[in-house]
Amino acid sequence: MIVVIQRVSEASVKIDGRVKAEIGTGLMILLGIEEADSEEDITWLTKKITNLRIFPDENEVMNKSLFDINGEILLISQFTLHASTKKGNRPSYIKAAKPDIAIPMYEKMIVSLESELGKSIGTGEFGADMKVSLVNDGPVTIIMDSKNKV
């Protein structure tokens, strides 16, 4: 799994012109799922995401986690994170998981994050044409790949 994590002061996702979800201070996360991903990847990423110390403390040092600030999460599934651009100019998405694998994994990630945080998170809709808006705070953007844990 690949995630692009952005620290935000606000974020929202619209589908068909209607707001599906919106959050205040927290993390907007783009999630790319590949065929080889497992529940172990979900567990590892959930712990890393929720405990990432990227929010400022009283000295403006990035030293606080989502837990410390009671932050929120907006999770958006994005298969294009697994694009291969090695050949030609049209990206290949061969590594991205097909919906029969990706949808259950996306749903498990939602449950895992909600369970860890102890509250609901905002989500997009798998496969929908979504319009995502955010105010990146910092800016702070972090990319993690669960295949590079060691």
Predicted confidence (pLDDT) per residue in 86-141, tens digit: 888 999 898 899 999 999 999 999 999 999 999 999 999 999 999 999 999 999 99
**Residues 43 and 56: beta-carbon distance below 8 Å:** no
Q: Which domains does the chain have, with CATH numbers?
A: 2-84+91-141 (3.50.80.10)
Question: CA-based angle 112:128:124, to the nearest 5?
Answer: 35
Q: Assign residue 70 a region (left: φ > 0; alpha: ψ between -120 and 50; beta: otherwise).
A: left
User: Which tens digits make up the pLDDT trace of 44-88?
Assistant: 999 999 999 999 999 999 999 999 999 999 999 999 898 888 888
Query: Which backbone phi and psi does 101 adopt, to 5 degrees?
Result: -100, -45
Q: Which residues are catalytic?
A: 80
Measured from the Cβ of residue 36, the count of other Cβ atoms closer than 10 Å reads 12
User: Which tens digits make up the pLDDT trace of 24-42?
Assistant: 999 999 999 999 999 999 9
This prediction has a pTM of 0.94
Distance CA 51, CA 68 (A): 9
